[in-house]
Amino acid sequence: MPILNIAPVKRNGMKLLISLFGMSETGKTYSALKLAAGIEPDPMKRGLLDTEGGERGRAYVDAIDGGYMYGSLTPPFTPERYAEALMDFVTAGVTTLVVDSVSHVWMAEGGVLEMVEQATNKNEQAKWEKPKRRLGKLTNKWLSCGLHLILCSRGKQPLIEGRSPDGRKILVPGPVVPIQEKSLKFDLTIMAHMMGDGRFSVEKSEGGKCPGPLRDIFASGELMNEDMGRRLIRWIGEQDSRSGVTRAIQIEAKEIAANGVEAYRQFFTALTVDQRAALLPQHDNLKSMAAAADAERQRLEDEAKEEATEGDLKDPFAGPALPGGIQMPPTTTDDGWPGPGGDA
């Protein structure tokens, strides 16, 4: 069977990935919960993952009709703990999740900046490699979890170079930017800069983003509310009917497949009949992913062997140095035979 399900295009199945960013007290959390309430009318299927101090996300329970499911994430704010918390909401059956905020995985305890500070690499670029790779896995989790996500980000206003009235160079506050991984913007459906009291802008000049078909819903300067969420879900067509357990199995299957064919075979074999049925639409693609993982692993091993062989050929007689800088050939080879510098 093919790895792609090619069919006439429709919006059903599309997932919303929305970012609201702004300075303190601009209405990020309240607006995100209003939007979520419109997208998902069932209070048991909409949630808030709260990372803010004092569990402030509980404050809006009376402001949102019916309330919402709630969970508080405590330090350390590592990418892995964010991913675990996300999966808890997936398993609980939530379809629309507000994360307030994603900034903690970047700049708080256990976040990317702390990882970089604690890295022992001397090369600055090398310090960023592992933290950004770990953050990238979390981003992949956002994209593959099957939920509508509304990610709140704190804003900052960096100082930039400007000119005083008399022409002198001075530092002035620049545009407000979100405290999050920069490349995340490419995957977002909508990015709104919260301006204050729930008003927002999706204009590019304000750091926003909004595709043309949704600009009638997200008109800059308006208050974000439930009706915007209702219009969004009507535009998509319908809510995803998969259960939380099914989504969790499908996400886990993708992660297992990344470990190769044998790992995925063992995982699939251990599933119940109903669980296998839930995976069948993706099964051929998952097998292809597993095979690709094995092929990539083999390619890297072959590449390492080739580099090692090339290194041996560059200096086949390398050995201990003699006075005057002369190199003594090795006395034996790796397989125990006498080397060029040994006895016959």
260-281 tens-digit pLDDT? 999 999 999 998 988 888 888 8
Residue 11 confidence class, pLDDT cut points 50, 70, 90: confident
Position 39 scores a pLDDT of: 95
What average pLDDT score do residues 206-230 get? 90
- CA pair distance 168, 278, nearest whole angstrom: 66
Structure tokens at 101: 């905020």
Q: Which helix (H) or strand (E) holds 313?
A: helix 273-314
- CA pair distance 13, 87, nearest whole angstrom: 19
pLDDT reading at 340 higher than 60: no
How many CB atoms are closer than 10 A to CB 25? Answer: 9
pTM: predicted TM-score of the whole model, two decimal places:
0.81
- CA pair distance 38, 55, nearest whole angstrom: 23
Q: Which of 185, 202, 174 is nearest to 151 (CA)?
A: 185
Residue ranges covered by each domain of the chain: 17-239, 245-314
Give the bridge partners for 152, in sequence order.
20, 100
- Largest Cα span, the chain: 91
* CATH code assigned to 17-239: 3.40.50
CB proximity list for 218: less than 8 A, separation 6 or greater: 190, 192, 200, 202, 210, 228
pLDDT reading at 64 higher than 60: yes
Pairing of strands 148-156, 159-163: unpaired
